[in-house]
Amino acid sequence: MSLPERALGPFTVSAVSLGCMNLSHAYSAPPPPDYSERLLNRALDLGVTMLDTAALYGGGNNERLIGAAVGHRRGAFTLASKCVLGLRDGKRVLDGSPEAITASIEGSLERLGTDHIDLMYLHRPDPAVPIEESIGALVRAKEAGKIGAIGVSEMSAETIRRAHAVHPIAAVQTEYSLTVRNPEIAVLDTCAELGIGFVAFSPVARGLLAASVRDDAYAQGDIRAAMPRFTGDTLAHNLIAVRSFEALAGDIGITPAQLALAWLLARAPHVVPIPGTTRIEHLEEDIAAATIVVPAEALARAEAIFASGAIRGARYPRPMQVQVSTETFPDEELA
């Protein structure tokens, strides 16, 4: 099966691709490995041609899962991973030094069971290391044939330009959805100007736009429990707009997640959303969004639902916010 495709740097990938983090990291307990293996293979069967992982996810277990589950189909997809962020004794560690990047890539190659990763991102900017030095380490990995293209994640337009001056950047990855519009400040336009693909992570707002968040009774270890907009009275306020959005999706005859993804796909031709899921039926629902045509009037109504003030609360807790350099709005709440 084939899906509509989009250019992402030197690659051509399915317009809706797959973020694999959920299978090992961040939310509820991950599904059993055999189920995750079926999900990943189902994604490829349905035409998904990019899988996105990171050294951070599950402390490397997500990369191991991908290698074990679909390594035998390596030629069927673009493989993307990330370095700089990792887990040490259960805590996030940020290290953008060339030595750490080189070691991280070697670890990723081993866990994935491959000698080449198509797209390697700097997962976050390290304020202690000039971006030029971090990119230089990726350039050397590319020259050694260990990676094919270079990306950056959650970085400002200025940082992207500095990185691009060292070596052409293939992709920028940042959170983007109807509820998180920060890339529209400068990053989307910068990517369009420089010919860089844009990968939208958390395109259904960590489940908020997929009818899967109704309260803040999260499972132990769920990162949303520490995210201001997903808890308490702030979440209760945000769910008011979400219910209107769900009603609109129902009127159109599609699911909320499909409407959220259709809105992103309509933003610009260089945008590639990577929803993640732990359920095959949700995977199938998300992938179907690549072929759904939503009238412009309905997309405008969806956008209007999330006008300024509809969503309250910082998108990250402070320890995570200080690790990104993405532009913020003047009135944006920050932890």
d(CA 253, CA 81): 35
Residues contacting residue 57 through CB under 8 Å, at least 6 positions apart = 20, 21, 24, 25, 26, 63
* Total domains present in the chain: 1
Task: Specify if 171 maps to a domain.
Answer: yes
Task: Specify if 96 maps to a domain.
Answer: yes
CATH for 239: 3.20.20.100
> Amino acid identity, residue 74?
R
Task: Specify if 334 maps to a domain.
Answer: no
Q: For residue 16, give the nearest of 315, 263, 295 by alpha carbon.
A: 263
Residues annotated as catalytic (active site), given as ranges: 57
Task: Specify if 255 maps to a domain.
Answer: yes
Task: Specify if 333 maps to a domain.
Answer: no
DSSP string of 142-165, one letter each residue: HHTTSEEEEEEES--HHHHHHHHH
**Tokens at residue 101, please?**
């990047």
* Cα end-to-end span (Å), the chain: 44
Q: What is the pLDDT of residue 87?
A: 86
Cβ atoms of residues 111 and 81 within 8 Å:
no
Q: What is the pLDDT along the chain (335 residues), one digit of tens a residue?
A: 789 999 999 999 999 999 999 999 999 889 999 999 999 999 999 999 999 999 999 999 999 999 999 999 999 999 999 999 998 888 899 999 999 999 999 999 999 999 999 999 999 999 999 999 999 999 999 999 999 999 999 999 999 999 999 999 999 999 999 999 999 999 999 999 999 999 999 999 999 999 999 999 999 999 999 999 999 999 999 999 999 999 999 999 999 999 999 999 999 999 999 999 999 999 999 999 999 999 999 999 999 999 999 999 999 999 999 999 999 999 999 98
Q: What is the pLDDT of residue 89?
A: 84
Whole-model pTM: value is: 0.97
SS3 117: strand
**Helix (H) and strand (E) counts in the chain:** 11, 12
Task: Give the range of the structural domain holding residue 190, as residue numbers without chain letter.
Answer: 5-321
Task: Specify if 315 maps to a domain.
Answer: yes
Residues contacting residue 35 through CB under 8 Å, at least 6 positions apart = 280
Task: Specify if 277 maps to a domain.
Answer: yes
Q: What share of the chain is helix, strand, coil (3-state, %, to 5)?
A: 45, 15, 35
Cβ atoms of residues 295 and 32 within 8 Å:
no
Task: Specify if 10 maps to a domain.
Answer: yes
d(CA 283, CA 281): 5
